[in-house]
């Protein structure tokens, strides 16, 4: 059943599974014994712009040291494409692999999760599984996900996001698939692996965490088991993101963001998301921009949009962001939360609107995974009326939109998208 169908007639809410996890400094060094314990024999290792890095080499060598065979697929792109998934599936089948390891952020993990679903269905196109629990075979190859960024949460969630490149190039489509069968076998989060993450990626991934935490807290799903994790992830992000960005080898900051990303994903796993993510997916589809960057730009506008229906929830968020709300009304405290989010965005150096973003604004090219041939004609955001319209239409079809705190129509969402493209954040400040 789709989320929008679930929201209206049924009071029953579903709690989705989490994988076993190992979290903390040095956790990645356990991958060899853990893979062996899980019965891995011949592994397809999937990774992204980390190819050639010491991280990939060390993990691959650890697997080999414990007597396991590996084959490396290192061409996963940012905002993973359907052909990345299917190329990995072909490599998996040709080499008669029996298991997966993904190394990286959300792109590596999501592509790997999609590949596992495809393998379990005899190599059918991953695009056939868009939506909610579309897979028919509940069993697929085991998977260890090793995170090198503090943002995605994909290593513990039941979701994966893929760009469908088979659609009209003028109307590209990035979709979310939710499937209980795609949950990883083991998640490994090690803050030491974040030390080399570029500062702009660190900042942008941190706002992915803030979106993952805040959206379920105000979601129309209003799922009580998610609310505590959501609030604590907001608190951890507010306390640790600045240190993680500007002092990348600050272990407390990196470890704080590790826990923030993990429990924020546990919050949205059953508590839902909203149009911060929907806008991000749309902009990624058209411009291949970084998901966390998109979330950061969209978040203040969407908070302002949703605030009138959730003042008290946003007031709670203000408390967790360190605002002294004593003596404030709920409305005043909610507005203070928005101010705090904008302050955090500016403190970590994120562009404030989409038309400010250039290819030099983020690390994709430095990591060797710059805009691909599919996007060569759409390298910068234009922000004109046609651009705003097409992004808005994509948002309205996104699987995250039905959970948004406030009802979404073309007429209500279009101004939000326009402000993301062209607006001044100071306009939102009280």
Indicate if 104 and 121 belong to the same structural domain: yes
Q: Are residues 37 and 92 in the same domain?
A: yes
Strand partners, 404: none
Predicted local confidence at residue 4, as pLDDT: 61
**For residue 167, what pLDDT band results from cuts at 50, 70 and 90?**
confident
CA distance 350 to 171: 27
- 217 shares a domain with 166: no
Last residue of a domain, one of 152, 170, 194: 194
Task: Please tell me the distance from the alpha carbon of residue 278 to that of residue 42, in angstroms, as a whole number.
Answer: 37
- Token pair recorded at residue 346: 């500016």
pLDDT-derived band at 368 (thresholds 50, 70, 90) equals: very low
Sequence-ordered list of residues with C-beta below 8 angstroms from that of 244, at least 6 positions apart, any chain: 150, 194, 202, 206, 250, 253, 254, 256, 257
Are 166 and 207 in a shared domain? no
50 with 164, same domain: the answer is: yes
pLDDT band at residue 381 using 50, 70 and 90 as cut-offs: confident
Q: Structure pTM?
A: 0.94
The encoded tokens of residue 57 equal 């080499």
Q: Are residues 32 and 81 in the same domain?
A: yes
**Chosen domain end from 161, 177, 194:** 194
Residue of higher predicted confidence among 389 and 4? 389
Domain count, the chain: 2
pLDDT beyond 60 at 378: no
Whether the predicted pLDDT of 10 surpasses 70: no
Q: Is the model's pLDDT at 364 over the cut of 60?
A: no
Q: Tokens 């004593």 — which residue?
A: 326
Same domain for 189 and 69: yes
Same domain, 394 and 411: yes
Question: In terms of residue numbers, what domain contains 403?
Answer: 200-249+258-263+270-428
Same domain, 352 and 297: yes
**CATH code assigned at 19:** 3.40.50.1970
Instruction: Tell me if 280 sits within 8 A of 420, measured CB to CB.
Output: no
> Which helix H or strand E contains 177, and what residues bound it?
strand 173-178
pLDDT in tens, 58-95: 999 999 999 999 999 999 998 999 999 999 999 999 99
Q: Parallel, antiparallel, or unpaired for β 42-47 and 99-104?
A: parallel
The answer to whether residue 345 scores a pLDDT higher than 90 is: yes
Cα separation, 78 vs 154, in Å, equals 14
Q: Domain holding 324: CATH number?
A: 1.20.1090.10
Looking at the fold, whether 50 and 18 belong to one and the same domain comes out as yes
Range 106-116 average pLDDT:
97
Of 297, 310, 288, 140, give the one whose Cα is nearest residue 227.
310
> Do residues 171 and 238 share a domain?
no
What is the per-residue pLDDT across 174-218, written as a single tens digit (0 to 9) for each? 999 999 999 999 999 999 999 989 999 999 999 999 999 999 999
Do 318 and 244 share a domain, yes or no? Answer: yes
Q: What is the DSSP string of 203-214?
A: HHHHHHHHHHHH
CA distance 42 to 39: 10
């Amino acid at each position: 059943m789709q989320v929008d169908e679930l929201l209206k007639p049924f009071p029953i809410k579903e709690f989705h599974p989490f994988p076993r996890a190992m979290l903390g400094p040095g956790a990645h060094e356990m991958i060899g014994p853990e893979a062996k314990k899980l019965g891995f024999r011949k592994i397809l290792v999937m990774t992204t712009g980390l190819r050639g890095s010491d991280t990939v080499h060390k993990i691959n060598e650890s697997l080999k040291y414990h007597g396991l065979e590996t084959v490396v697929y290192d061409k996963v792109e940012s905002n993973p494409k359907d052909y990345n998934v299917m190329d990995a599936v072909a490599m998996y089948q040709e080499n008669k692999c029996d298991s997966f390891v993904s190394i990286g952020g959300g792109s590596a993990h999501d592509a790997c999760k999609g590949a596992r679903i495809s393998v379990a269905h005899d190599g059918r196109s991953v695009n056939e599984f868009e939506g909610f629990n579309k897979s028919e075979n509940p069993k697929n190859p085991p998977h260890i996900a090793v995170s090198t960024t503090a943002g995605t949460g994909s290593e513990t969630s039941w979701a994966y996001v893929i760009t469908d490149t088979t659609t009209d190039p003028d109307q590209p489509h990035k979709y979310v698939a939710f499937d209980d069968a795609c949950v990883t076998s083991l998640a490994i989060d090690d803050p030491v692996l974040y030390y080399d993450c570029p500062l702009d990626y660190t900042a942008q991934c941190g706002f992915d965490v803030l979106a993952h935490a805040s959206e379920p807290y105000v979601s129309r799903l209003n799922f009580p088991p998610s609310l505590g994790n959501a609030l604590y992830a907001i608190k951890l992000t507010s306390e640790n993101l600045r240190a993680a960005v500007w002092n990348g080898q600050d272990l407390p900051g990196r470890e704080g963001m590790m826990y923030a990303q993990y429990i924020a994903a546990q919050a949205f796993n059953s508590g839902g998301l909203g149009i911060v993510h929907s806008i991000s997916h749309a902009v990624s589809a058209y411009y291949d921009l970084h998901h966390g960057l998109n979330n950061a730009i969209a978040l203040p506008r969407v908070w302002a949009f949703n605030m009138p229906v959730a003042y008290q929830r946003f007031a709670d968020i203000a408390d967790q962001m360190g605002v002294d709300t004593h003596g404030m009304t709920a409305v005043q405290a909610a507005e203070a939360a928005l101010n705090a989010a904008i302050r955090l965005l500016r403190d970590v150096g994120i562009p404030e609107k989409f038309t400010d973003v250039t290819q030099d604004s983020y690390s994709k090219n430095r990591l060797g995974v710059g805009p691909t041939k599919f996007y060569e004609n759409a390298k910068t955001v234009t922000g004109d009326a046609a651009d705003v319209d097409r992004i808005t239409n994509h948002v309205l079809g996104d699987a995250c939109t039905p959970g948004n705190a406030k009802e979404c129509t073309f007429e209500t969402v279009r101004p939000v998208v326009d402000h993301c493209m062209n607006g001044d954040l100071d306009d939102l400040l009280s």
